[in-house]
Chain A
Amino acid sequence: MATVSSGRAWLLLSGLLWGCGTLGDASELPDTWPRTPLRGFALRDAETPLLISQSGSVLDQPAVQPQTEGSSRLVVWGRRSERGQSARSSLFRSEVTDLATPTTPQSEVMPTGWEGAALRAPTWLPAESTDGLGPLLLYQGEDGSVGVASVDDTGSLQRLTPTAPLLNRRALLGPEPSPTGMGDKPSELGRISIVALGEQLRLYYTVDATYLRFAQLSKTGLQARLRNQTTEVAVVLSEPVLWASDFEILSGRSDRKPAQRLDGVMVRAVLTPTGRQRLDLYAAAAIPTKSMLVAASLYPGSSPSGAGERFLPVEAPLLAANTEGEPSSPTLTIYQGQPLLLLGLRQVSTGIAAAVMK
C-alpha cells in the first residue's frame, strides 16, 4: 500500500487551491427584476427632453397607435394648438423611429362638423377589442363629445361618426343640476381614455378636474353604432372612482397639500404575469403653484359595472420631482419591451417628452 503523509496531502491541496477563489469580483449584478411602471420615471434626456415639438405650437395629450409587437416604430397622435390659442386645436400624427432623434408632427387633422373648433384627447382602442373593425381612434370635440375614427396604413384618418358623436357631452355628464341663474359655469370634461374589460368598454375622464369617473358601454353597442345599426349607444355612468384630493402635492421642502386639480388622465389595462387584470392610471395633479404627474391603480372587481371600485393613489411621484418644466397628460406604452412614458412638457415651448424608468 502506498502511503501519503498528511503533510504531503496538505501541500497537494494547497497547490490546487492556488487558482481558485480568484475569478470573481465585487461588482453587483444588474437588477433585471420587472417592476410595475407606476413610479420612478425620469426624462430620457434631461438636456433635450422634447421628442416631438414644433415651433410656435403647443403639443400635448400624446396617444400611441397600437403597433405589431417588436416594431421599432412609434406612431404618436396628440393635440396641437397655436401658442396662446388653446381653445382651437387639432390632432397631429408623428412617427418616431428613434427616441434619440427629435421630430415634428407629420400630419394634422382639423376639426369639422359637430367637433366645433377643437379636436383633442386621442385614445386608442386596439384591434382585439373591436371585433373586426381594426384599431379605433377615439377623440373629443370642442365640448367634450366623443367621436370615433379609423386610421389606414398611410396614416390617413377616416371619421366613423361624421355626423354625430358616439357619445355627446350630456351622455358623459349625466343629469346636470338645474341652473341657478348665478352665472353657472358649464362642467369641464377632461381628457378621455378608453380601456376594454371583457365585453365592456370603459371611457375614463375627469369632471371639472375634480374627480374621475367612467362611462361604460358594451363592445356590441359600439359595433352596432359604427355599423349604423343604431343611432345611440347605451352607457352607464359610474360614481367617482378617484378624487383630485386623493393625491398630495409636495409644496416647499416638506409640506404636503391635497391636489385641487386632476387632469390629463390615461388609464391602461394590464394583464399581470400571473394572469390578473389590473388598471393603471396616469394623470397630472396640481395645486395652484405646482403640477406633478401621479399614478394610481386598482384590481377590477367581480362586478361588471365596476360598482364600488376605487383607484388607490401611488404616494411616490410618477416623474422625478426635480424635472424642470410643467408636465401634463401622461401616456404609458411599452416600447421595445420597456415602459415608456410620454407626456406633455411645458418649458420654453410645449411638446411631447419621453421618460423612462430609472
Chain B
Amino acid sequence: MTKATQSSNQTAAFAKRPRSIAGSQKKPALLSSMLCGLGLLAATQSARANPLDAFGLGARAPALGSAYAAVADDSAAGYYNPAGLARSGELHIDLGYQAARPALSVSGQRQLLLDTRGLTAGIVLPGRVLGVQMAFGLSLFLPDQHITRIHVLSHDLPRLHMYDNRTQRFFLAANLAVRLWRGLYVGGGLSFLSRSSGTVQLKGQIGLTDPAGSTLTSAVAVDLLAVRYPQVGLLWEVTRQLSLALVYRHRFLLQLEQGFNIDADVADPGREPVVTGGKLRELARSVDLFQPWQLVLGTALRLPRVQVSFDLTYSRFSEQPAPAATFTLDLDIGQLGDLVKLPKSVPYPDPGFHDLLIPAVGVEWRAIEGAAGDRLALDLRAGYRYEASPVPEQLGESSFGDADKHIVSCGFGLTLSRLSRSFAKPLSLDGFAAVTMLPLRRFDKSDPRSPVGDFTVSGTVWQAGGQLRWRL
C-alpha cells in the first residue's frame, strides 16, 4: 500500500447537485432541489452566506453604504441585524433584483470574472406570543447563475481571492426577533448552507496494454450536507432620534470532500491479470468558501428630515485557512507498488490574512414629503464604505490578488401611500447604484523565477439594484 497527500487543482464548478445520485448520470432537478432546500431551511430555521458582505442586500441598505445595523426594519434586517425585524410590527414583503459587475485587471489585463446578479426577496411576519411582540423574517438572495460555485485551485495558482467564489452564493436567512422591552430588540437565527461530499466509484478491469479496452462500470454519489452557523443582533432605540446596534455573525467555512475510487484487475482481455484486486483511493479535501466572524457596532441618528447612520465592522480574516485543496492517495497494486512513486505531502503555509475594521456611513434625506395630496414622499440616499484588503503581501508561492475597496453609493426611495383600498399601507420603490473602486495595489515576488511574477491589481465593481417594499 502506497500513500501520499498532495495539493491539487480542483476546478469543478458546482451549480446544482441533487441530494444523492447513485449509479446514475441524471441531471439534477433544480426546482425540486431548491424547494427541497427551502423546505429544509424552513424546518431548520435559517440560512445565510456572504455575497452580501461584498454587495449588500436589498436597495435601501446598499444605497446607505451598508451602514444599516441600527436602521434595519425590513427584511434586509435578516442580514444586517435580525433584531430589527421586530421593530415595525408590520407585515413586509420585499422583492427586487440586484447585480454587480466586476471590472478588475491584473497587471493591466482585464480578468474574466462572473457577474453577481439575482433576485432579492424577503418577508417579515410580525406576531404576538404570550403578549410579547415578535417577528419572523426570511431574507433571500437567489443568484441567476449559480446557487453555489466551487472553484478550488492549488495553492500556487493565482486568483482574485475576494471576487472568485465569494460572490457566487445562494443566501437564505431566517431569523426570529423579539421586543424585550420598550425600544430594546433582540434577534437571531442559525445560518445555513450546504457542503458537498461525493465519490466516483469505478469497478471492473483495466486494460494493461490497451487502456481503451478497459471495462469499468461507474457509480457517482454526491451528498449535500447542511452547514449551520449562528448570528445574533441587538437593537436599542435609546431615544426617538438615536439607535444603537450590536450584531454578531459567526464564522462560516465550506469544506468539500470529493473521492475517486477504483477497484479493478489490471489485465489484457483473455489473459491472466497482472494485478488482481487493485485499488486506488483518492480523497480531495478543500476549503472553498470562508466567511470570517464579524462583530458590527452600529448607530443611527434621526433628525427631522435627515438620518445619519454609521457601522463599524470587525472582521476576523486572520482565521482564513489556506484556500486550496489537499488530496490523499492510497494505491494498492501488489508487487507493482514499488514501481510507482507518489508525491510527498506538501503542507500549506498560513496565508496570513489580516483582521479588518470596516467603517461605513450612510445619509438619508427626506427630499419630498407629503406631496400629491400627502401620498408621495421621496428620500435621497448616499453612502460610503471602506474595506481594506485582508490579503497580505504575496512574496512567495501563493498569489492571492486583492486591493483596498472604496465603495461609494447613492439611491432613492419613493414611498407611495394610500394607493387603493387594498394598498392602504405605503408601498416603497427603492433604487441604488454603487461603485467599488480598487486603487492600484502592487505585489512583488521575492523570487525572480516565480511563475506569476510581480503583479498589480486594480479596477472597479459596478452595482445597481431596485426593490419594491410592500407593507401590509
Contact = CB atoms under 8 A, between A and B. Distances in A.
Interface of A: 1-4, 6, 9, 12-14, 16-18, 20-36, 38-40, 272-276, 278-279, 295-299, 312-314
A257 to B, nearest CB: 19
B442 A26 contact: no
A238 B65 CA distance: 59
Nearest to A312: B449
Contacts of B31: 17-18
Interface stretch (B110-118, B248-256, B362-370): B110-118
Which A-B residue pairs are the 6 nearest by beta carbons?
Answer: A24-B145, A273-B107, A272-B454, A26-B13, A297-B448, A36-B453
30 contacts: A4-B472, A12-B93, A16-B119, A16-B121, A17-B31, A17-B119, A20-B119, A21-B146, A23-B144, A24-B149, A26-B13, A26-B14, A32-B111, A34-B453, A35-B452, A36-B449, A36-B450, A36-B451, A38-B449, A272-B453, A272-B454, A273-B107, A273-B442, A274-B443, A274-B444, A278-B454, A296-B449, A297-B448, A312-B447, A314-B449
Interface in B132-160: 140, 142-147, 149, 151, 157-159
A20 B144 CA distance: 5
A25 B424 contact: no
B345 interface: no
Contacts of B91: 3-4
B144 to A, nearest CB: 5
Majority secondary structure of chain A interface residues (helix, strand, loop or mixed): loop
B24 interface: no
B444 A276 contact: yes
Contacts of A313: 449
Contacts of A279: 448
B133 to A, nearest CB: 17
A278 B448 contact: yes
Contacts of A278: 448, 453-454
B440 to A, nearest CB: 9
A24 B15 contact: yes
Nearest to B472: A2
A32 B112 CA distance: 7
Contact of A298 (B140, B443, B448, B451): B448
Contact of B448 (A14, A31, A33, A299): A299
B118 A20 contact: yes
Contact of B452 (A4, A33, A298): A33
Contact of A34 (B16, B106, B114): B106
A25 B13 contact: yes
A9 B34 CA distance: 16
Contacts of B453: 34-36, 272-273, 278
A312 B447 CA distance: 9
A309 to B, nearest CB: 11
A106 to B, nearest CB: 34
Contacts of A28: 11, 13, 151
Contact of B454 (A20, A29, A40, A273): A273
A276 B395 CA distance: 14
B451 A20 contact: no
A56 to B, nearest CB: 40
Contacts of B12: 26
Nearest to B106: A33
A38 B451 contact: yes
B30 A21 contact: yes
A1 B424 contact: yes
B451 A39 contact: yes
B143 A34 contact: no
Interface in B434-472: 442-444, 447-456, 472
Contacts of A12: 93
Contact of B143 (A21, A25, A314): A21
A296 B110 CA distance: 28
B170 interface: yes
